[in-house]
Structure formats: structure tokens, C-alpha cells
Amino acid sequence: MRWLQTAWQEVLDALYPPRCAACAQVGYKYWCADCLSRVSYIAPPVCTKCGTPIDPEGFCPSCPTHPLLLEAVRAAAHYEGAVKDAIHRLKYAAKPAVAPALAQLLIQAWHSALSEPLHAAQGVIPIPIHRERERERGFNQSVLLARHFCHAVGLSLWDDVLVRAVYRQPQVGLNAAQRAQNVKDAFRVVRSEEIASKSVLLMDDVWTTGSTLNEAARALLQVGAAHVFALTVAHESLRG
């Protein structure tokens, strides 16, 4: 019944036309040409541990002051331009239709040479948000991203393993020390048998200081995860 699927898709496109993820211009599945030109991809050289872009001498500005429990972290793009606009539409304008475009960036990053250290992962855990915040927003953006990603690359999706046990203020606007304190003991593993002795890939929208991902990794490692990696859509530099 391929003709029926095609007809139904045409009806959906007429009712809900595809839009550019960043500027919302009608007629583009993911990005319009102008916004695609404003996507700033992460390129070598990067720190082999945290994925932060580094100078040719190889000095990482982040790892000495923000040590990680994660084995390796990578991001697809810089948190600027069209990517920043799209993430804001997803999270703050409640536009879940933006998620597939951002997930495509994750998929591209996964298939790049920079992400080879992450390929030991056996499944994906999206960073949870507290149930109150999810109720307000209507969805968890990291779950949406992870669903599209896992479907494309063939990894298991473990979206019921980790929960956000404590409601805290958003990380936006906090410095590095405040971010670390704000997420301390925020996560709880509810299905430890699912990830015991497994290699796990955490997924989130933005990597800033790594406090959120690092605290999630701590909770997973404490219950027996073998290794924890992370992949995010964007990387934002924050000092202090």
C-alpha cells in the first residue's frame, strides 16, 4: 500500500508543511540553504577526552580544570548560528518537529572519524529531565534526539534506565562551579541490570562544562556500567 502511504504523507505535508529547523521557512525538510551555511561543524583538532577544539599544540583548555568520568565526549557542531537557533526552537518554543534535523547532525558526527572512540557503546541513554519540567515542556528533547539517532545507527535505546530524581533550577546562566553543584546527586538509576557491565552512550543537546553529563556518568558507573561515553548536538565554551 505504498500509494496510500504516499497520499497520507502528502496530506500531512499540506497540513503541516516541513520547515527549516532554524528559521522555520516553509519547504525544507531539515535546513534551508542559508541556515545550513550557518552550521559550524566541529573539526579537528579536538581533545581526545572531552572533544573540545584545541590548538595545534594539543593543549586542552577544559580537562585540567574540569576532569571527567566520561571516557570520551564528542559534539557535532558549535553552539552558534543555525544550530543554536534550532535548539532554542526545540526547547524553548516547544517545536519537537525540529528534532530530526538536529538528530541528523548527531548521525553525521557518529559516522565521522572523530567519533570512533564512541563506537564501543552498546546503547544510548538520553539525559533525563525532571518529570515536572517534562510536563511543562511536553517532551524531553534528548529522548527525541536519541530515538531518531538509534533508529538510524542501530543502537539500543535505554530511555527508562536513568531518571532525574531532584528538581533543580536550569543550568542556563550558571558558571562552571555553580553548574557542578546544581546537578550534584541529581540522577538515579532505576534499572541497573540493563546497563551492568555495558558500555553506554549518553546523549544531550548541548555540552558546556560537562557537569550534567559527568554527574549522569557517575550514577551509571556506580551501579556497574563498564564505560560511559557522550555525544551531543552542540558544544558551547564556558569559562569560570
Residues 122-166 pLDDT 10s: 999 999 998 888 998 999 999 999 999 999 999 999 999 999 987
Distance CA 188, CA 42 (A): 31
Query: Among 3, 22, 149, 27, which residue's Cα sits nearest to residue 76?
Result: 149
Distance CA 101, CA 144 (A): 11
Q: How confident is the model at residue 168 (pLDDT cuts 50, 70, 90)?
A: low
Pick the CATH number of 42-235 from 1.10.3470, 1.10.287, 3.90.920, 3.40.50: 3.40.50
Q: Which residue has the higher pLDDT, 202 or 27?
A: 202
C-alpha gyration radius of the chain: 18
Q: What local confidence, expressed as pLDDT, does residue 76 receive?
A: 98
Distance CA 71, CA 101 (A): 27
- pLDDT of 60-119, one tens digit each? 888 888 789 999 999 999 999 999 999 999 999 999 999 999 999 999 999 999 999 999
Q: For the range 175-181, what are the long-range contacts, defined as Cβ-Cβ under 8 Å and sequence gap of 24 or more?
A: 175/238, 175/240, 176/65, 176/66, 176/209, 176/211, 176/238, 176/239, 176/240, 177/240, 179/208, 179/209, 179/211, 179/212, 180/209, 180/211, 180/214, 180/215
What is the pTM (predicted TM-score) of this model? 0.89
